[in-house]
Amino acid sequence: MRQLNTMFEPRGKVLNVMISAACSMGFLLFGYDQGVMGGAIGSSSFVRQFNHPSPLQQGLITGLYDLGCLVGSIATFIIGERLGRRKSIYVGCIIVIVGTVLQVTARTVAHLIVGRIVTGAGVGIMTSIVPTWQSEVTGADERGIYLTVQSANINTGFVLSNWISLGASYATSEFQWIFPIAMQVIFAVYLLVTVLFLVESPRWVANHISLDEATRIIARLHNKDETHEDVFKVREEIRLALEEETPPSWADLFRNGCQQNLRRMLLGFGVLYMQQLTGINSIAYYFPVVLTEYLPVSSSMAHIIAAVAATQYLMFSFVPILFIERIGRRTILIWGAVALMVLSALIAVGFNIPGQGGAIMTCVMYCLFYDAFAMSYLNVPWMYAPEINSLRMRSKGGAIASASNWLFNGIVVTVTPSSLASIGYKYYVVWAVFNASFIPMVYFLYPEVRGLSLEQIDHIFEGRGYGWSCLTQGVRESVKGAAAIEAARPRATGGDVEADPSSENSDKDEPGTVGVENVKRGET
């Protein structure tokens, strides 16, 4: 591996673009898997092969894949930090290849489910580690853009799966469902080969190997000499972060000490919980099935509509590149929830309009739902967890967030067929209520991290806070920017002494402000 890197060492913008392409391929594979089974499960050869699976079996075939992704995320939580970012991706790719082979050779529902779970474990590893790797190699001013491109490629994979499933649907043999599933191997092999030429995260290297080796990687990423001031600045930020962070223990994950690890992980977990409880995958996984079973649309037309809807969904998923570093994460999440709430309600209305008019309205609302989601909850949740977690906890925080995604994703896709069969249009009223609940959650609990380096984001979470402020600390300052965060930081007073919550200053603390606790730390 070292010889390969010596023969071909991309630097600067080229290296950053190559890393982004690799990360995007990891998420393209994720998106492809989201869409491919929705097309395959409705094909005539699939139905014959697996003896007309019931709605419950359809839900298990689709949903237990997410159980595998959850297992992969938990595995990353346990061993991901030890393996590093690149080795974790290697392991994920190999598992995906094995799982794909199991799927395409399946002849029973049980065999297929096993293959789906194994494939899911590999994808779960990649969704846990890829955002962390991308965030750690990218500068603060471009981090949101690169992470948006990465997340948008979920939809590239989703669109590919829809169009490939549409093309394969015109076959009459098992090619209808085997070929679309087998395509996953190509993406996994591409990722395996590409990552060989790329660099490990300099922050992981500094923590586990040496600061000097990390400096060499930083120099490559910036395409500058190791002694350049920009390289030195990043090196010093990492060095200070490592010095100020207490080496974590497993117990640190579940207590809200001066680094607020528990709060950070809950924020990452929560934002991907919100992503899934928008209801997006009740549509994405089952679009063709819903059109044929609940609306007056033929099977072939349903596949065409699903593919067209996915294509325009892809176009909108790249739009946030234009505003992600100008508007900020919080504003996007709040207004995204408002739009998704309204559109969920309108989908429910469409189900109640008889005939072709209701079908047209529902399809239009599905497309608009895709677009609103693409510009809000598609990208921000995946970038938020690696941004807010501390250096030593970042891979674990990313794994916890990924586990949240797959846990609630699995719940949604498993219950959707049965729920639609039981309560029909009221199912979308449930999603409208969930989306409404996200508005106050984001407003009160989620700090703004736009334009901040990963080390500056750490300053938001310094100190424990008291009462409600332990959940809202730093939110108000984060909206005002880095200068307000720095001004509100607790300062060392020569001893490891906490501020008395009954003191005059503590009485004046308001929810959403940084606590006045004194923490023993070095000045930066």
pLDDT tens for 229-264 read: 999 999 998 888 888 776 666 666 666 666 788 888
- Are 118 and 254 within one domain? yes
Assess if residue 226 is contained within a domain. Answer: no
In this prediction, residue 467 carries a pLDDT of 61
CA atoms within 13 A on the CB side of 16: 19
Assess if residue 450 is contained within a domain. Answer: no
- Are 263 and 356 within one domain? yes
Amino acid at 451: G
Sign of CA dihedral 237, 241, 244, 247: negative
Assess if residue 328 is contained within a domain. Answer: yes
Assess if residue 281 is contained within a domain. Answer: yes
Assess if residue 235 is contained within a domain. Answer: no
- Are 437 and 485 within one domain? no
- Are 375 and 423 within one domain? yes
Assess if residue 258 is contained within a domain. Answer: yes
Rounded CA separation 389/377 (Å) = 19
Range of the domain at 500: 462-524
Tally the residues of the chain: 524
- pTM across the whole model: 0.79
**pLDDT tens-digit series, residues 410-454:** 788 778 888 888 888 899 999 999 999 999 999 999 999 988 888
- Are 478 and 513 within one domain? yes
Assess if residue 259 is contained within a domain. Answer: yes
- Are 427 and 293 within one domain? yes
| Higher-confidence position of 490 and 168 | 168
Neighbours of 504 (CB within 10 A): 8
Assess if residue 106 is contained within a domain. Answer: yes
- Are 440 and 466 within one domain? no
Rounded CA separation 55/419 (Å) = 10
For the domain that residue 376 is a member of, what is the CATH number?
A: 1.20.1250.20
Question: 370 — phi, psi (to 5°)?
Answer: -50, -45
- Are 357 and 489 within one domain? no
- Are 429 and 344 within one domain? yes
Domains identified in the chain, total number: 2
- Are 178 and 41 within one domain? yes
CA atoms within 13 A on the CB side of 246: 16
**pLDDT tens-digit series, residues 204-236:** 999 899 999 999 999 999 999 999 999 999 999
In this prediction, residue 100 carries a pLDDT of 94
Mean pLDDT in residue range 301-309:
82
In this prediction, residue 251 carries a pLDDT of 65
**pLDDT tens-digit series, residues 35-77:** 788 778 777 888 888 888 877 787 788 768 888 998 999 999 8
- Are 488 and 402 within one domain? no
Residue 305 contacts residue 289 (beta carbons within 8 Å): no
- Are 15 and 126 within one domain? yes
